[in-house]
Structure 1
Amino acid sequence: MKHFLFLTFFIYCLSVNAQKQIYTDFYPGKLWFDTEGDIINAHGGGILYYEGTYYWFGEHKGEFSNAALVGVTCYSSKDLYNWTFERIVLPVSDDPNSPIVRGSVIERPKVIYNKKTDTFVMYFHLELKGEGYNAAHVGMAISKQAAGPYTLVRNSRVNAGKWPANLKEEQKKENPDDAWMLKKGWTPEWLKAVEDGLFVRHHFKEGQMSRDMTLYVDDDDKAYHIYASEDNATIQIAELTDDYQNYTGKYIRIFPATHNEAPTIFKKDGTYWMITSGCTGWKPNEARMFSAPSIWGPWIQHSNPCQGKDAELTFHTQGTYILPVHGQKNMFIFMADRWCPDNPIDGRYVWLPVLFENGIPVLKWVNKWHITE
């Protein structure tokens, strides 16, 4: 029996070590291993570039649950192909009173660096344990080191007591039908009411819902939180304070009542581009794309940026972040996850180059690619 156990362990070690390799290309949808030969576990991720190193933050997922059982992971890389596991930068808590207790939902963590305070700031979508997706909170954590650890500062809804800058005055007034209309979900009447500010009014005092999200730091170092709100019916963009740790109170709604989630954003030649998805749970759908001359709009919609086979399913993925490659002018990477709800840890990463045709972003499938000058 001892010989059998030793042989099993030896074979296991060989199989793990066999995965230790140096990557020189991206292989979208294939298993991706870190420098120790372990599968990279950083789902719904985003990347921070700081002093010559990329830091990839993401959700640690297990085999049977999408709940947060471990916390937020961090990997580092110099070349974007080969990633070293740093640590669990924001571990779940064993304190049942903590908002990030084990079994809560922590999704789509993003980290930005604040030059004024020399602080790294993380935002993430947080759902409280046992409450399903009803909390719709944003969590915020900080660290003095890029690779953490991070300390949770607060969690809440967004911009309590503040109206969107582009909400009409008549839409701010209470409607006697609001209470009844809130129960009429997914009907044409409900969508019209949402468009007219139903959820904004309903959540005015406690703040706006925040689910799928990303962060964006502009050329002037102003930072923005971009998130799915109003029961995932509307994207909102909220300006952050100068220390990136709170809200200025200025925010807008983008295409209300059209069901967008998974926002990703970048800027090229003065134009802001946003790629989102529709709302079909864990199942993939067709990506949507919008552009604007200012972060505050006006935003216009374009056709699906994906082209080719399975374009209508965003190549069986959902976007999580768009990464500007440092030192490469107009080189952007569309980061997406191929969700696997029955075995979450097996969700695959699909990174594709953002191409441009007549100045319009385009995504095309490739089995293998690398960054070129």
Structure 2
Amino acid sequence: MSRIVALVAALALILAGSPAAAAAAAVPVGAQFTDTGGSLLHAHGGGVLKVGTYYYWFGENRNSNGTFRYVSVYRSTDLRIWEFRSNVLTQSSAAELQVANIERPKVIYNASTGQYVMWMHKENGSDYGEARAAVAVSSTVDGNYTYLGSFRPLGHMSRDITVFVDTDGTGYMISAADENFDLHIYRLTPDYRSVSALVRMWDGDHREAPALFKRNGVYFLLTSAATGWQPNQAKYATATSITGPWSAWQNVGDSLTFGSQSTYVLPIQGTQTTSYLYMGDRWAGAWGGPVNDSRYVWLPIQFPSSTTMSLTNARQLSVDTATGTLSATGSGYDRLTLRHSGKCLDVRNQSTANSAAVVQYACNGGTNQQWRIQSISGGYVQVIARHSGKCLDVNSAGTADYATILQFTCGTGANQQWTLQDAGGGYLRLAARHSGRCLDLPGSSTADNVQLQQYACHSGNQQQITRTAL
């Protein structure tokens, strides 16, 4: 008996001394983040650098008018719980930063010099005429960065920007050039502080928001079209040499990249695998909000082959930085069902055109009956049809009863912004911001193909919907 007790005690000591497996972190898609102090996290247009066990996330933290305030940095071990570390670059860091725009800061580490080097896009704060790259350095990852100045690389305009360190230690900077019509890859000098050569150019392709990564010897360059704050179709190209030849541009994700624009791709290397995380910004300018109201869209990248990638929308991610595994749950879309009829909100005939009627129709699982409800500034939402990428809209921004409901290209209009009102019993009402009136079905009809309208909000079942996650 004493021998059994001793064995049990020894086993208990072994188990007590074993490190617990890190739990996977749940990361929402299309949300704002808060740091450990409870403040909103501002790392828009940013990039991530892993140092030791920590991931450091650098990004834009802007003034209310959109001009430069800080480059802020946060750190995390699990990519969900973020600790604010410092504002590593501020308006007082240099005279030319007192009134400026600083966008898309990215930091890389130079093993030869022992310095962290930040590259960013710099403008004068009033227009986009400067189109310059800027550089700052620090001896510590989250300490104050010394601003070295701004310039046009080899005389070329430089806007949306990223940096990349290859497996042989060579540094590269990629930027949108020449009014965003061209895209350039520059080789950096050995200290990463400047450019030494233009090694690849896409002439006239009109691409921006570059994110470069390498997987199993293949380079992937992910980009966006140049449509301002509005999202668009992401495209990527691949090559086995950074200087080319590169493949033709290929679509990835849906026509709006799920309401986001690429900023960075983060490899997550763990004990079991290496996964690749798409990091995108859902820019608040798309709905007329300030930059600091922007949301973060993170999605797992899949690789159907060694030279292809795919993105699928999701509602939430599960990230395990210890094992390197990354998975998604939910499609990110909802079915909206009217209480009085049991029929679904539907874009008539699956039309993708502007002004196509939004009707009720027997639920059938079609993508024209699937909606992405994305939160925007002020507690409002936009309701976006999956098949078309267009927004639920009150016709001509009418404020009167009986104004019809349709789909239209998403923009900044308040007639595309809605509040989700609790109607009790698990039901909701959708109230239009511009009019205060509710989504309504005329005459409480239960027939297919009846177009929805707005009407003064009341307690009737024809204004009540159920939201079912798909």
Whether TM-score is above 0.5 comes out as: yes
- Counterpart of 1:209 in structure 2 is 157
Q: Which stretch has the larger CA shift, 293-302 or 216-225? A: 293-302
Give the counterpart of 2:186 among 238, 242, 263.
238
- Listed as ranges, the matches of 1:292-303 within 5 Å are 292-303=239-250
Q: What is the alpha-carbon distance in structure 2 between the residues aligned to residue 326 and residue 126 of structure 1? A: 32
Match of 1:197 in 2: none
Amino acid paired to 1:46 = G
Deviations 1:61-91 (A, max 9, x none): 34x32211x2100001111111100111001
Q: How does 1:221-236 map to 2 (within 5 A)?
A: 221-236=169-184
Is the 1:268–1:330 Cα contact (8 Å) retained in structure 2? Answer: no
Q: Could you tell me which amino acid in structure 2 is paired with residue 38 of structure 1?
A: S
- Cα deviation for residue 213 of structure 1 reads 0.6
Q: Which of 271, 294, 319 is residue 347 of structure 1 equivalent to?
A: 294
* Structure 1 pair 23–357 and aligned structure 2 pair: CA distance change class (3 A): closer
Cα separation, 2, equivalents of 1:38 and 1:326: 29
Task: Indicate yes or no: 2:44 matched with 1:48.
Answer: no
Label 1:94 to 1:225 Cα distance change in 2 as closer, same or farther (>3 A).
closer
User: How many Å separate the matches in 1 of 2:81 and 2:295?
Assistant: 16
Going from structure 1 to structure 2, the CA distance change for 1:326 and 1:94 (only over 3 Å counts) comes to closer
Gap change, CA 1:105 and 1:329, over 3 Å in 2: same
Greater fraction strand: 2
Residues 49 and 326 in structure 1, CA contact (< 8 A), matched pair in contact too: no
Give yes or no for contact 1:125–1:211 (8 Å, CA) kept in 2: yes
Moved more, 25-34 or 322-331: 322-331
- Structure 1: 4+ residue segments shifted above 4 A: none
Distance in 2, matches of 1:155 and 1:282, equals 24
Q: Conserved in 2, the CA contact under 8 Å of 1:23 and 1:82?
A: no
- Counterpart CA distance in 1 for 2:37 and 2:93 is 28
Query: What pairs with 1:151-162 in structure 2 (closer than 5 Å)?
Result: 151-159=146-154
Name the SS for the 1:80 alignment partner: coil
Map residues 198-347 of structure 1 onto 2, 5 A cutoff.
Answer: 207-254=155-202, 256-306=203-253, 311-327=254-270, 329-341=273-285, 342-347=289-294
Q: Which amino acid aligns with 1:92?
A: Q
* 1:144-197 deviation line (CA, Å, top 9, x unaligned): 0100210101210002xxxxxxxxxxxxxxxxxxxxxxxxxxxxxxxxxxxxxx
Counterpart residue type for residue 51 of structure 1: G
8 Å CA contact 1:223, 1:244 repeated in 2: yes
Report deviation, 1:329.
3.5
Mapped to 1, the partners of 2:50 and 2:151 lie a distance apart of 27
Give how far 1:321 is off: 0.5
After superposing the two structures, state which structure 1 stretch, 41-50 or 296-305, moved more. 296-305
How far apart are the structure 1 equivalents of 2:314 and 2:281? Answer: 15
Question: Partner of 1:6 in structure 2?
Answer: none
TM-score of the pair, normalised by structure 2 = 0.61
Deviation at residue 302 of structure 1 after TM alignment: 4.1
Alignment partners' CA distance in 1, 2:193 and 2:255: 37
Letter in 2 for 1:114: N
Secondary structure in 2 matching 1:26: strand
- The alignment-based identity, stated in percent, is 38
CA contact 2:35–2:82 (8 Å) conserved in 1 = yes
Name the larger-Rg structure.
Answer: 2
Give the CA deviation at 1:26: 1.2
TM-score when scaled to structure 1? 0.76
Question: How many equivalent residue pairs?
Answer: 294
Distance 1:89 1:326 in 2: 26
Alpha-carbon separation, structure 2, partners of 1:154 and 1:243: 15
Aligned to 2:421: none
Which residue identity lines up with residue 144 of structure 1 in the other structure?
A: S
What is the CA-CA distance between 1:93 and the residue it aligns to?
2.6
Unaligned runs of 5+ residues in structure 1 are 1-21, 160-206
Q: CA RMSD in A?
A: 1.6
Once the 2 structures are TM-superposed, how far is the Cα of residue 364 of structure 1 from its aligned partner? 0.6
Instruction: Tell me by how many angstroms 1:23 deviates.
Output: 8.7
- Say if 1:305 and 1:362, in contact at 8 Å, map to a contact too: yes
User: Does residue 90 of the first structure (1) align with residue 38 of the second (2)?
Assistant: no
Question: In structure 1, what is the equivalent of residue 96 of structure 2?
Answer: 99
Letter in 2 for 1:49: K
The residue aligned with 2:343 is none
Could you tell me how far apart the structure 2 residues matched to 1:105 and 1:228 are? Answer: 16
Residue in 2 aligned with 1:29? 30
- Can you list the C-alpha shifts for 1:227-279, whole angstroms capped at 9, x where unaligned? 0001100110000011111122343212x112100001111111100110001
Q: Secondary structure at the match of 1:152?
A: strand
